[in-house]
Amino acid sequence: MTEEVPIPYTAVGVPLVEEVKFDGLKFKTVTWKVPEDVEYKGKIVYVHGFCEHSTVYTEFFDKLSQQGYEIFFFDQRGAGLTSPGELMGKTDEYHTFNDLDYMLKRALDSRENKEEKFFLGGHSMGGGIALNYAITGKYRDDIRAVFVSGPLVTLHPNTRPNIVVRKLLPVINALVPHLKIDSKLKYDYITSNEGWKNYIKAHDTKLIGTVRQFNDMFARGEKLLLKQHTSKYSPTIPLLLLHGTNDNINDIKSSEKFVSLLPASVEKEFVPVERGRHSLFIENEQIFNSVFEKVTQFLDSH
C-alpha cells in the first residue's frame, strides 16, 4: 500500500543521510547541501513536529537548498527512524532539549567559519521547541534568527483534549509515563494538498505518542503564554511566525498572543496565512509558494 503512494514531488537535489549515535540512540539525520553552482547563504537547523519525519519536508528543504540554504534535520527521539517500533513516542522535556543541544553543538563544531550563526526553524511541536530555545536554549547566542509555522502553544478547540483528560495528564504521566495514546489527529486538518494528505495517510496510519510526550509538549507550549517566561526571549534573535487561519490543530490565537507578549526590543513578525491549514510547508501549491516566498525573504534579510 505505502509503495503505491509516493511523495507528490520530485527533488532536484539528493540529501545526505547519516546515522549519528548519541545517548543510547542512533539518530537519523538528513542534510540538504547547497549546490556547488549556488551561493551559500547560511545553515538552517530544523525541528520537526509531532510524529513527523524527514520525507514530508522533501520539497521545502530541496527548494531551500536551491536558494542557497543548507538544512540539517534529524528525526527526534521518539519519532521516525530514530525511534521505530516500541521506541515510538518515548521522549520527555529533558531529552528533547538535550538532544537538540547536542545536534546544534555538533553542527557548530563543524563550521568552517567559527563565527557563523545558524537559523533555527520548526513546525508545530518543533515550532514550540524552537520558540522556547530562543528563550532558554544553551546555544541560543549562536542562533541568527528563528522561523516557525503553526507552533504548538495551545491546541485548537477542535483538537484540544477535554478538560478532565488534560488535568489528569500529569497524574497519568507520574503513574504510567510510557503509556501510548493515539492522538486521533484528523488528516484533513493537516493539509489541503491531496497528494501529501494521501502520502501521510498511507505511511503514518496512526499518530501515536506517550503520555509523557503529550504532557511535556503541552506544558512546554503553555509556558509560552507566561509573561515572565516570554520576557526572556533573546533580543538578538529576529522571529518570523506563520500560522494558517484554517489551522484546526494548533490555535492561531495563542500564536498571536505569544508574539504580543514578546519584549518590544525583539524584531518580530506574525503572519496569518489565509486559508492555510496546519502544515504550511506541504500545503497546496498557491499557499506553499506564498509561504516559501515569505520564508526566503525573511532568511535573505538576515
Q: Does residue 124 have an active-site annotation?
A: yes
Is residue 157 packed enough to be buried (19+ CB in 10 Å), middle (13-18) or exposed (0-12)? exposed
* Rg of the chain over all Cα atoms, to the nearest angstrom: 18
Exactly one of 247, 254, 255, 279 is catalytic; which is it? Answer: 247
Q: Does residue 278 have an active-site annotation?
A: yes
Exactly one of 251, 255, 278, 279 is catalytic; which is it? Answer: 278
Exactly one of 54, 65, 83, 124 is catalytic; which is it? Answer: 124
Distance of CA 177 to the CA centre of its chain: 23
Q: Does residue 255 have an active-site annotation?
A: no
Distance between CA atoms of residues 248 and 246, nearest Å: 6
Q: Are 46 and 87 in contact (CB under 8 A)?
A: no
Grid cell locating 137: 536554549
Q: For the sheet with 25-32, list strands across it.
A: 16-22, 25-32, 69-74, 42-47, 118-123, 143-149, 239-244, 268-273
Sequence-distant (≥ 6) Cβ neighbours of residue 228 within 8 angstroms: none
Residues carrying an active site annotation: 124, 247, 278
